[in-house]
Structure 1
Amino acid sequence: MSHSARLLRSLTDGGRPFAIIRRQDAATLDVLVGDVADVDRLDDIPLDGEEVLALVPFRQVRERGFAAHDDGAPLRCLIVRERETLDVETALDVLPAAATVTDVTVDIDDDAYARVVRRVIDEEIGAGEGANFVIRRDFRARTQSAPAPAVLGWLRELLLHERGAYWSFAVHTPGVSLVGATPERHVSVRDGLVTMNPISGTFRHPEGTPTPEAILDFLADEKERDELVMVVDEELKMMSSVCPDGGRMRGPFLKRMSKLTHTEYALEGRSDLDPREVLRRTMFAPTVTGSPMGNACTVIARHESSGRGYYAAVLARFTPKPRGYDLDAPILIRTAHLDDSGRVRVPVGATLVRHSRPESEVAETHAKAAGVLTALGVLPRANASIAAPAEDPRFAAVLAARNDALAPFWSTAQAPRPATGASALVIDAGDDFTRMLAHQLNHLGVAARVADWSVAPDDPDEDLVVFGPGPGDPRREEPRLTRLRELLSTRLESARPLLAVCLSHQLLAQLAGLEVRPLPEPRQGVQHTVDLAGAPARIGFYNTFAAYASSDSSPLLDFELSRDPGTGAVHGLRRRAAASVQGQLESVLSPDGLATLTRLVEAVMVPEGALVPTQ
């Protein structure tokens, strides 16, 4: 460890690009100095033996085919040529005082942001476009200080007064400088171990140290619990895409910071993918976008009038190993963005779910911005508390009890079952829940692959076709829904095994002559126990629409129905070689999901031969 701080002392003139990184309240921090190279795609990040820190903009999500405003923010690489490691106390002695900011404004005032919240709940979640969405607003200011000393001084304030950050950091490159204390790892890869860290649910600290009772009230809040479970589901989709064995949940835990306390899980799995590919498949965290991911990006583009720059994207640190690279990529939130003209921007967003209250979401954006705004001198330091919430054994017990209602499949070892010799095509209808479905089918011994609805063949060779979930109003006429109806009809005519889930269940119900209409209240991230084919099943639901019937059989196609006797809402259809389910059997909200999936797959496959292990 260096005690001279030679590199750090040389940075205040701004002559060289640099990054300073402190990880998870460590006693030391790293100073990295190097050359800048801008590239077009993640695959172009130069992993040629040097350490690289990549500034990945939000617009890069277009590599996944998702929508994003193109604001021109570069995919910038700092190729490290020099580095030193310092203890934090030494760094504090060297870092300059904080620069002053003026002209503090916000791009969307509180009342206007509250109206955006209500509009997203009514027009997006209420129309079946997704379970949750994150819409940003920007706090803005100006500084007369040059970028390099400005971010160094603000970093000093964060090091002194913030706590619990996954990374505290400052980055300076030509035209782009960042400083922040982000609570959340997006994804890391270390010796093949992939870890994601979904954080959601927010408790805003009162003046002083929160009491145990206040934290217990937060842990009992239904909205805060639902937020976390929904983002866990979304990140398990990503884990299923990059890890052959899926992802295992650890937690939940409390995440404590100076002004906020969050709840979090850790998800872990193993992968041999290039870390750049891991990053590409996981762009970006649902905690700062929403779910399902593709539609969340569309909703963001619809409700945000400008590009996000680097907000909600990542810093990606690639560290060379004897073989390959490790990756550590935190989410760029709780961060100030500074350009060379002195303009400062602090973007924040609230997670909007079906029972969000606009005034609470407005308050949450202020709380999330508070740590950085305090470091910038916008908010008085006297109102900041860095005392940790008091430890209490009840916290761990309450958190652990949350898992009692979740699917054990995603928190326990998954020993694969023997191969059955059967194969399945899972058709992606616009929601990566299909990745989790395919993973569970593979676990059951069924060789499954995923194909997008736009390229799925009319007559697949696979023994089973699973039509997956997706967003949107099933009553519409649009290319995706029209194609899914065609594929369902063709498969029904072939009398070969099929299973339809969620949106595809609704489309199948329409073909069977049933009415599909909006629910009285969206069931986005809700768990219910329902009867499916004569057996109770506790499963998760992510639907805004439902099929309805007044009898136990369909007008067309001779389906037997599982339905709610009170409301008539149809939970599932079944007949020879075909079945459907409204709920998400693959969801972490479905404790009975795997058993129900096994039962349904075996039932539809019986005409082709029961699922038995191959010898």
Structure 2
Amino acid sequence: MTPSPSPLTAVLAAGDSFALIARDAATVELLTGEVVDVDLLSDIPLTDAEGRPREVLALVPFRQVRERGFECHDDGAPLRCLIVSARTRIPREDLLEQLPTTPIPLADPHFDIADPEYAEIVTRVIADEIGRGEGANFVIRRDFIAGVEADPVTAALTWFRALLEYERGAYWTFAIVTPGHVAVGASPEAHVSAQDGLVTMNPISGTFRHPAGGATAETLTEFLRSTKETEELFMVVDEELKMMSAVCSDGGRITGPHLKEMSRLTHTEYVLRGRSRLDPRDILRETMFAPTVTGSPMQNACTVITRHERTPRGYYSGVAALFTPRPATAVSVDEPTHDLDAPILIRTAYLVDGRLRVPVGATLVRHSDPYGEVSETHGKAAGVLGAIGAVPRDPSSGLTAGTPVAAALAAVPGAAVTVAGIPASVALDEDAPAVRPRLLADDPAIAALLASRNARLAAFWLNPQDAAGTGPLAGRTALVVDAEDRFTTMLAHQLRHLGLEVEIAPWNHVTDEQLDDADLVVSGPGPGDPRDPSSPRMRRMRDVVAHRRASGRPLLAVCLSHQILADSLGIELAPLSAPHQGLQHTVDLFGMPASIGFYNTFTARVAPGMEWIGEAEVASDPVSGDVYALRGPGYASVQGHLESILSRDGMTTLERLVSHALMPVGA
């Protein structure tokens, strides 16, 4: 009897579209079905013509940010959906025997943007964007490209086999083959998942590069004590909590920090969880996309990306989203019918029309070194090439963590390399995971050091929260005006826990009628220079503050709006010598110390020691005169972000300032 072909062989013989996904160490899932392209996330076909739920794997391109009104280079990359008609679980070892092993030659590999040009872009972003208060950090990408003459499906299976053999620590290892398009990758982290109404996000930041001889508790301790590395992780958590607060009724709770240990790198991470009844497509829309691959604040990051990236992103920094129907018995009225599992599309190679493309990005901050960021993009590209087998990994080959990309590719049989000017400081496959006999996280001293980080954070986001709407200010309404920083979602969540009924309105849609109707108006934070008269957003935020003050009704102004309020009182505005991005600082606010998180590039400034300016009481730095807070008849303001995880005294201070603003004038 002739043995029946394997499931993969049958799929290949039929020429069907398919996806191979490894989400555990033992099995690989083979998904097959029809491919359809849709325009919007809401169009993802989670049900058939009879209304029956079905499983869908969607490739979500970066251009979907237009659904949130954000800018992008729109390349028309399709929101591609594989409607799953069959799912087969294949033992990993059985599948490895079926996959090809012959290396795939690469022709003329090079970056689409030359090193000096990329360094110049980095320089401009630091000076023109971060230096002007447009945001805390931005991710700018470039693409490593090469020609591939091999059959696309063969190439995809070859690269996927290499990933299965060498990438043990990825969140998803996958190959997705659809008409005219191949995507193969090993994403290290989930973006968002939703299971049985529990939404989870997993912000990762902070990278410890293992020294020669491997990591030890002693060498890791120095990294964990780094203020810079710690605060970078806190900033990422803040950004993802903004998203969680938009989709979860309980605003989200953080657990951790944890270590993500790999062969040559160790990362620090938190896990965010919250409850939501939203359709998973809506959850995906509200969380587009991860700050680790875009920047912060998210909306302005998209604008900056559009200004400085020369070409569209395609699927880079988007997600692969698997929507799986929940058992009918587990779904009740008004509950989502599908679970969601969506990793970030990074560490991924794309093959279209015989061209391999590996997009890589560098996170730019104020102190970034342009050529250091150039080197980082080389390292990331080399890591992907090593992972898919385009670069030898065998130490006996002589290719070590210092071999440039060009030299490494030259050692691959059949590769035609014409790359010039590649720095000789590129680590190959530096984050390939390996099985460890003992985890450093198990060391009691390391565990204690990790746990100690949370002593700096706001208990509000660490602990289970009481039901909203029952706080000391219950029965009143608040309107939060969003100036393009979704810290407003976290702020609104905290205001609800003070008892207020809260609505959020964007700056360009809020009406004077809305401003008049609310018991309290909270004029929110946002990026940019508050002194810029050409900015429509700044002009409208000035109108919001002026209108509310003229009415004599309660106003709270936060960060950018605090600066606008200060300016209206005749207080000087000036740029800081060094931006306060993710800075935790204990300040005196009207006689009470408060530990607060700051994210500002500009400041209001008075003469040191000045306590009043007209009717307004001033809380300021005794040396610099930087104004931390103001309060006067019917209004209060604060420079810091009381909603940030860095604001240990955030809720207490928010209640103080709101209560002052709501106090009847003259009382």
TM-score, normalised by the number of residues in structure 2: 0.87
| Residues 504 and 7 of structure 1: CA distance in aligned 2, closer, same or farther (over 3 Å) | same
Q: 2:540 corresponds to which residue? A: 483
Which 10-residue stretch deviates more, 141-150 or 413-422? 413-422
Is 1:18 aligned to 2:18, yes or no?
Answer: yes
Post-superposition shift, 1:165? 0.7
Post-superposition shift, 1:5? 7.5
Cα distance in structure 1, aligned partners of 2:284 and 2:367: 32
Match of 1:293 among 298, 306, 325: 298
Amino acid at match of 2:195: R
Match of 2:483 among 429, 433, 455: 429
Cα distance in structure 2, aligned partners of 1:345 and 1:470: 35
Is 1:55 aligned to 2:59, yes or no?
Answer: yes
Q: 1:391 corresponds to which residue? A: 439
Q: 1:369 corresponds to which residue? A: 381
Match of 1:344 among 356, 364, 370: 356
Which 10-residue stretch deviates more, 512-521 or 257-266? 257-266
Q: 1:236 corresponds to which residue? A: 241
Cα distance in structure 2, aligned partners of 1:361 and 1:205: 20
SS in 2 for 1:587: coil
Post-superposition shift, 1:13? 5.7
Post-superposition shift, 1:553? 4.9
Post-superposition shift, 1:207? 5.9
Contact 2:261–2:439 (CA under 8 A) maintained in structure 1: no
The residue correspondences of 1:401-550 to structure 2 (distance < 5 A) are 401-416=452-467, 418-419=470-471, 420-458=474-512, 459-477=515-533, 478-550=535-607
| Residues 139 and 13 of structure 1: CA distance in aligned 2, closer, same or farther (over 3 Å) | farther
Match of 2:610 among 552, 559, 569: 552
The residue correspondences of 1:159-198 to structure 2 (distance < 5 A) are 159-198=164-203
Contact 1:12–1:152 (CA under 8 A) maintained in structure 2: no
| Residues 218 and 312 of structure 1: CA distance in aligned 2, closer, same or farther (over 3 Å) | same
Q: 1:209 corresponds to which residue? A: 214
| Residues 61 and 108 of structure 1: CA distance in aligned 2, closer, same or farther (over 3 Å) | same
| Residues 464 and 84 of structure 1: CA distance in aligned 2, closer, same or farther (over 3 Å) | same
Amino acid at match of 2:446: F
What is the CA deviation profile of residues 90-116 of structure 1, one whole-angstrom value per residue up to 9, with x for unaligned ones?
A: 111111124232322112344433333
Which 10-residue stretch deviates more, 309-318 or 388-397? 388-397
Post-superposition shift, 1:460? 2.7
Cα distance in structure 2, aligned partners of 1:70 and 1:13: 35
Cα distance in structure 1, aligned partners of 2:516 and 2:57: 44
SS in 2 for 1:10: helix
Q: 2:33 corresponds to which residue? A: 34
Contact 1:162–1:258 (CA under 8 A) maintained in structure 2: no
Cα distance in structure 2, aligned partners of 1:58 and 1:395: 38
Match of 1:570 among 606, 627, 639: 627
Amino acid at match of 2:10: S
Contact 2:242–2:489 (CA under 8 A) maintained in structure 1: yes
Q: 2:317 corresponds to which residue? A: 312
Cα distance in structure 2, aligned partners of 1:226 and 1:142: 41
Amino acid at match of 1:399: L
| Residues 292 and 609 of structure 1: CA distance in aligned 2, closer, same or farther (over 3 Å) | farther
Is 1:89 aligned to 2:116, yes or no?
Answer: no
Amino acid at match of 2:343: P
Where structure 1 has 5 or more consecutive residues not aligned to the other structure, the ranges are: 611-615
Q: 1:224 corresponds to which residue? A: 229
Cα distance in structure 1, aligned partners of 2:325 and 2:5: 24
Post-superposition shift, 1:204? 3.6
The residue correspondences of 1:110-189 to structure 2 (distance < 5 A) are 110-189=115-194
Amino acid at match of 2:133: G
Contact 1:138–1:347 (CA under 8 A) maintained in structure 2: yes
Cα distance in structure 2, aligned partners of 1:118 and 1:548: 29
| Identity in percent | 59
Size of the alignment, in residue pairs? 605
Post-superposition shift, 1:82? 1.5
Which 10-residue stretch deviates more, 528-537 or 463-472? 528-537
Which 10-residue stretch deviates more, 523-532 or 206-215? 206-215
Contact 1:219–1:225 (CA under 8 A) maintained in structure 2: yes
Post-superposition shift, 1:187? 0.6
Cα distance in structure 2, aligned partners of 1:475 and 1:4: 73
Cα distance in structure 1, aligned partners of 2:228 and 2:119: 17
| Residues 266 and 4 of structure 1: CA distance in aligned 2, closer, same or farther (over 3 Å) | farther
Post-superposition shift, 1:14? 8.0
Cα distance in structure 2, aligned partners of 1:429 and 1:175: 41
Contact 1:259–1:370 (CA under 8 A) maintained in structure 2: no
Which 10-residue stretch deviates more, 580-589 or 195-204? 195-204
RMSD: 2.0
What is the CA deviation profile of residues 542-597 of structure 1, one whole-angstrom value per residue up to 9, with x for unaligned ones?
A: 000000111535655x2111011100110011012100000000001111111100
| Residues 400 and 258 of structure 1: CA distance in aligned 2, closer, same or farther (over 3 Å) | same
SS in 1 for 2:123: helix
Post-superposition shift, 1:69? 0.3
Cα distance in structure 2, aligned partners of 1:467 and 1:231: 24
Q: 2:72 corresponds to which residue? A: 68
SS in 2 for 1:244: coil
Where structure 2 has 5 or more consecutive residues not aligned to the other structure, the ranges are: 48-52, 332-336, 395-399, 401-428
What is the CA deviation profile of residues 360-403 of structure 1, one whole-angstrom value per residue up to 9, with x for unaligned ones?
A: 43333333333321134333212456445763313322221211
SS in 2 for 1:35: strand
Cα distance in structure 1, aligned partners of 2:5 and 2:611: 77
Cα distance in structure 2, aligned partners of 1:386 and 1:317: 24
SS in 1 for 2:564: helix
TM-score, normalised by the number of residues in structure 1: 0.94
Cα distance in structure 1, aligned partners of 2:285 and 2:581: 27
Amino acid at match of 1:31: L
Amino acid at match of 1:470: G
Cα distance in structure 2, aligned partners of 1:364 and 1:135: 12
Amino acid at match of 2:451: A
SS in 2 for 1:327: strand
Contact 2:214–2:264 (CA under 8 A) maintained in structure 1: no
Q: 1:613 corresponds to which residue? A: none
| Residues 363 and 250 of structure 1: CA distance in aligned 2, closer, same or farther (over 3 Å) | farther
SS in 1 for 2:281: helix
Is 1:330 aligned to 2:343, yes or no?
Answer: yes
Contact 1:561–1:572 (CA under 8 A) maintained in structure 2: yes
| Residues 469 and 278 of structure 1: CA distance in aligned 2, closer, same or farther (over 3 Å) | same
Amino acid at match of 1:507: I
Post-superposition shift, 1:208? 6.1
Cα distance in structure 2, aligned partners of 1:508 and 1:415: 33
Q: 2:6 corresponds to which residue? A: 6
| Residues 89 and 609 of structure 1: CA distance in aligned 2, closer, same or farther (over 3 Å) | farther
| Residues 257 and 179 of structure 1: CA distance in aligned 2, closer, same or farther (over 3 Å) | farther
Post-superposition shift, 1:453? 1.1
Is 1:257 aligned to 2:262, yes or no?
Answer: yes
SS in 2 for 1:381: coil
SS in 2 for 1:547: strand
Amino acid at match of 1:250: T
Post-superposition shift, 1:11? 4.2
Post-superposition shift, 1:355? 3.0
Contact 2:633–2:666 (CA under 8 A) maintained in structure 1: no
Contact 1:469–1:501 (CA under 8 A) maintained in structure 2: yes
| Residues 5 and 51 of structure 1: CA distance in aligned 2, closer, same or farther (over 3 Å) | farther
| Residues 216 and 13 of structure 1: CA distance in aligned 2, closer, same or farther (over 3 Å) | farther
Cα distance in structure 1, aligned partners of 2:5 and 2:210: 36
SS in 2 for 1:414: coil
